[in-house]
């Protein structure tokens, strides 16, 4: 006998399936941002603008060290004392510790960018296939969408995440085939749940979607993604590089003046 479900019950089931699909898409979107778009956007920024920024910042640090040295030497001279060069070096080292955090961050970004550009990249078609396969594996294996997972299925999900991050298309495709075959072999009859439980499940899924979307929005409004569109504009890149080069020129002039002032005080820089 054909048993028909109440329309409200059918609507609740349909909503859950829609929410699961939305959640799987959100997880896939977040993974794509974290493993592909953010690193490649950062790499493009460093290749076009950031490398000049690093050079300018290193010069800025040098100027700050020279300014600090001049300040401390003048302070001693004005008090009729001989500058304590060891004490001055300690102050310079403390300043270096404060300023070097940003320099190290820029240097690390540049190294990551170089690693990305040197890596073997997938074609556009293969990249599209990678994302589609991963999204389906997320739908089938993510713990939030499949709370009754077995230990093996949890291992498969971790393997999928690892393969996706490494852009291993063949491994990901093989894993999807294994998971689909396993699901066919172990398919269980659907259990009729109370509609209150369906509503609670819908609320949980919707809450997780909101949380993921907030995380995605945060990434999109942070460095480097807020610059993603601008980095496609050659005029923007040219303007930024010119601005940094002008800043570098000013810093070089300032460095020369500080070296002259310090030389007049009897300080000779060490190579």
**pLDDT tens digits, one per residue of 237-268:** 999 999 999 999 999 999 999 999 999 998 88
Task: Considering only the C-alpha atoms of the chain, give the largest distance between any 2 of them, rounded to a whole number of Å.
Answer: 107
**pLDDT over 70 (residue 209):** yes
pTM of the model: 0.80
Averaged pLDDT of the chain = 90
CA angle 226, 231, 233 (to 5 degrees): 125
- Provide the pLDDT for residue 12: 86
**128 Cβ contact list (under 8 Å, min separation 6):** none
Residue 5 has pLDDT above 80, yes or no: no
Q: What is the pLDDT of residue 195?
A: 82
Structure tokens at 80: 């009729």
SS3 for the chain is CCCCCCHHHHHHHHHHHHHHHHHHHHHHHHHHHHHHHHHHHHHHHHHHHHHHHHHHHHHHHHHHHHHHHHHHHHHHHHCCCCCCHHHHHHHHHHHHHHHHHHHHHHHHHHHHHHHHHHCCCCCHHHHHHHHHHHHHHHHHHCCCCCCCCCHHHHHHHHHHHHHHHCCCHHHHHHHHHHHHHHHHHCCCCCCCCCHHHHHHHHHHHHHHHHHHHHHHHHHHCCCCHHHCCHHHCHHHHHHHHHHHHHHHHHHHHHHHHHHHHHHHCCCCCCC
Distance CA 179, CA 153 (A): 8
* Mean pLDDT, range 221-236, rounded to an integer: 96
Identify the pLDDT of residue 216: 96
Flag whether pLDDT at 87 surpasses 60.
Answer: yes
pLDDT digits (tens, 9 = 90+) for 135-178: 999 999 998 888 888 888 899 999 999 998 888 889 899 899 98
> pLDDT by residue (tens digit) across 30-42?
998 998 899 999 9
What six digits make up the tokens of 245?
């080069």
The mean per-residue pLDDT over the stretch 19-23 comes to: 90
Write down how long the chain is: 271
Res 86 pLDDT > 60: yes
| Confidence at residue 127, expressed as pLDDT on a 0 to 100 scale | 87
On whether the CB atoms of residues 7 and 195 are closer than 8 A, the answer is no
Instruction: Work out the pLDDT band at 1, boundaries 50, 70, 90.
Output: very low
pLDDT recorded at residue 191: 64
**What is the spatial distance between Cα 197 and Cα 24, in angstroms, rounded to a whole number?**
21
Mean pLDDT of 118-127: 80
């Amino acid at each position: 006998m054909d048993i028909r479900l109440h329309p409200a019950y059918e609507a609740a089931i349909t909503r859950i399936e829609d929410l699961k699909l939305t959640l799987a898409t959100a997880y896939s979107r977040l993974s794509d941002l974290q493993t592909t778009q953010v690193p490649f956007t950062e790499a493009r920024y460093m290749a076009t603008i950031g490398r000049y920024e690093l050079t300018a910042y290193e010069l800025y640090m040098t100027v700050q060290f020279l300014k600090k040295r001049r300040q401390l030497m003048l302070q001693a001279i004005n008090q009729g004392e001989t500058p304590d060069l060891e004490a001055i070096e300690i102050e310079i080292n403390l300043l270096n510790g404060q300023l070097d955090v940003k320099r190290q961050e820029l240097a690390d970004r540049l190294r990551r960018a170089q690693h990305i550009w040197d890596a073997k990249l997938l074609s556009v078609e293969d990249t599209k296939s990678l994302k589609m396969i991963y999204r389906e594996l997320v739908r089938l294996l993510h713990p939030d969408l499949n709370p009754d997972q077995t230990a093996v299925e949890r291992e498969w999900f971790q393997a999928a995440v690892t393969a996706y991050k490494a852009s291993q298309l063949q491994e990901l495709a093989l894993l999807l085939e294994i998971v689909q075959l396993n699901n066919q072999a172990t398919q269980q009859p659907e259990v009729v749940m109370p509609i209150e439980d369906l509503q609670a499940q819908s609320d949980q899924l919707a809450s997780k979607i909101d949380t993921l979307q907030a995380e995605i929005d945060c990434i999109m409004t942070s460095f480097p993604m807020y610059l993603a569109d601008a980095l496609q504009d050659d005029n923007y890149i040219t303007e930024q590089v010119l601005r940094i080069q002008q800043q570098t020129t000013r810093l070089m002039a300032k460095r020369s003046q500080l070296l002259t002032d310090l030389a007049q005080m009897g300080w000779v820089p060490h190579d």
